[in-house]
Structure 1
Amino acid sequence: MAECHMFLLELIILCSIFTGTNGIEETNVFFSSGENVRLPCNNARSDCTSTTWNYNSHKETVELVNGGKLKNNIERHERLTMGSDCSLNIMKATKKEYGLYFCLQYLNGRLQETDEHVFLHFLHVSPSISQTEIKAGRSGTLSCQLHLYPGVSCDTLVRIEGYQLMWVNQAGVNLMTDSRYQILFFSNLCKISLATTLLNEDHNREWRCQLTQRNQLKTSASFTVKYSGQRCILGMSSVHFTQGTLLSGF
């Protein structure tokens, strides 16, 4: 019976994603590696005892919370907590955390019509050359990509909801107008690259990829160049804003 219930739940999820379902509230949350993430559950009751959290990675569905209690037989249970508002919190989130989370409410054992879908999307920056190849005078490219849950349209996020990727310097100045850098936007609009040639004065210089929505910062991922002797090392850090709170991970 448990397997049958989970199979039917997966069918409901797929139908609601691709056809739309009345009564479902959808929320987009963004993060980069190492961030503490909060997933809201706006339809929850006061004591959370009716709340169930499930996760879908587009391959399988996993129950994380049942009746307001965390499941202990899942791989990442030690990094999960529930807030007093029934939100699901993930500590030091990694790329494998991105996907669809859904907060369900059960009343007298029956699934209610209203639930919340939280799409957790992952922002990642990667260099085109290895650490041993990084040195002054060498050209390289940083690629910044927003990994979206399958079925979520990047075109919709950008053109309708006003999300935007951009490269900025340490002072937060957009690098689009700086002739030193070549910035390329990809056709899917959720990937942007920055190319440049490293200079001696780039020691401790940071380049940051920001995700904004109508000029409000959602999350960012950055790289900092550090020179050591004749070689330099590229380090990574990330900066995030969540409900007005500044979080950082190293």
Structure 2
Amino acid sequence: MVGVHHTLIQLLILKLLSTGVFGESSSTYTYNILGDDVNMPCKNLVYPVHCSSVEWIFDKTGLLNAIQEVSEGKVRVDSNRAERLTVKPDCSLTVHNVISEDVGRYTCRDGNIDSLTILSLLTISSSTPESDLKPDYPLTLRCTLYTLLGPGMCRYEELDKISLGWVDQTGADLHEVFRYHFTVHSTCDITLKVTLQREDINRRWTCQLTDKGEVKTSIDFHSTLSDVDKWVVIGVVVFVAVFVVITTLVIFTKRTRIQMPVNTGHMMLANNSDGEQADITYSVVNIPAGSSVMNRDPKTEYATIRTKS
């Protein structure tokens, strides 16, 4: 009961803030995924804009835990997120590389005018690491929206009007395919279960967030089946190895067929034209029967003559 009362108090405070009890207010809902750069507008400012009078306040559970992130138009140096926060010339606030800790309410305050932005984060998780996915093995994907009330909790104003759904890489609704099974934990927390097949290699599974029939954001999961990749690589390596061996054998066979046997060379002395002796090295060449070389003059002799200096 204590937890229920605590949640009701949170909802009451948020409701009072968003309806302008503590000053004029307007609310903006933004849905993002991990790593996004999120820009939040500061509305209802009086032009010309002077950001020196603007402050940004962040909270998750109401004013009691509010943190001032921007003072007099500048990011506070003592902020834990100072390196990821930027104030633009129009006084809007950008949160870079958003993470789950950034989920919550952001209030731009200029005097007694408040502009509210509710930041939520869409996440996807797998029951099995991507490197361990295999054909005929089950895959469980859970798509959850993290809100200021917690993961999968959407019972608050505009958040109550959103829905999550799964589609394939062509955009087709997976809810109409019999091989998929779904568990709806809440309107912003849904699980998909499927037994993987070989055609699921490099398949993209997409969780879409829809608000009043309009897709606001989506997040993907890619299935890379480890066994399929391994056998593809092994097949390529074996094919290359066989090709190299066959090519080497063909080249070696051709060279062996055209090689002609040659007798060991002999050396003798002979007189040159000046009457001096010189070494003459000669060899007897055996021509295979039927060779085209037989059409030449069989009396032709081949010799290398080296003369002494």
Indicate whether the TM-score tops 0.5: yes
Which structure has the larger Rg over C-alpha atoms?
A: 2
- Distance verdict in 2 for CA 1:180–1:157, change over 3 Å: farther
Contact 2:209 2:218 in 1 (8 A): yes
1:154 paired residue number? 155
How many angstroms apart in 2 are the aligned matches of 1:140 and 1:198? 7
Query: 1:220 Cα shift?
Result: 1.2
2:137 paired residue number? 138
1:48-63 superposed matches below 5 A? 48-58=51-61, 60-63=65-68
Give ranges in structure 2 of 5+ residues lacking alignment: 1-9, 231-309
TM-score norm. by structure 1 comes to: 0.76
Pick the structure with more strand per residue. 1
How many angstroms apart in 2 are the aligned matches of 1:69 and 1:155? 31
1:238 paired residue number? none
1:94-113 superposed matches below 5 A? 94-106=99-111, 112=112
Contact 1:39 1:87 in 2 (8 A): yes
Residue identity opposite 1:53 in structure 2: W
Give ranges in structure 1 of 5+ residues lacking alignment: 1-12, 107-111, 233-250
How many angstroms apart in 2 are the aligned matches of 1:97 and 1:182? 32
Contact 1:36 1:93 in 2 (8 A): yes
Deviations 1:22-43 (A, max 9, x none): 4221221111101111111112
TM-score norm. by structure 2 comes to: 0.62
Aligned-partner SS, 1:173: coil
Please tell me whether residue 17 in structure 1 is matched to residue 14 in structure 2.
yes
How many angstroms apart in 2 are the aligned matches of 1:156 and 1:65? 27
Please tell me whether residue 32 in structure 1 is matched to residue 33 in structure 2.
yes
Aligned identity (percent) is 30
Cα RMSD of the aligned pairs, angstroms, is 2.4
How many angstroms apart in 2 are the aligned matches of 1:118 and 1:14? 16
Count of aligned pairs: 211
Please tell me whether residue 219 in structure 1 is matched to residue 217 in structure 2.
yes
How many angstroms apart in 2 are the aligned matches of 1:167 and 1:14? 29
Query: 1:230 Cα shift?
Result: 4.9
Deviations 1:153-177 (A, max 9, x none): 4364465xx4221111111121111
Aligned-partner SS, 2:199: helix
2:233 paired residue number? none
1:129-208 superposed matches below 5 A? 129-131=128-130, 133-150=132-149, 153-154=154-155, 156-157=157-158, 162-186=161-185, 188-208=186-206
Query: 1:196 Cα shift?
Result: 0.4
Query: 1:131 Cα shift?
Result: 4.2
Deviations 1:184-203 (A, max 9, x none): 222x3211111101111111
Tell me which stretches of 4 or more aligned residues in structure 1 moved more than 6 Å. Answer: none
Greater RCO between the two (CA within 8 Å, min separation 6)? 1
- Distance verdict in 2 for CA 1:136–1:155, change over 3 Å: farther
Query: 1:231 Cα shift?
Result: 6.8
1:68 paired residue number? 73
2:242 paired residue number? none
1:82 paired residue number? 87
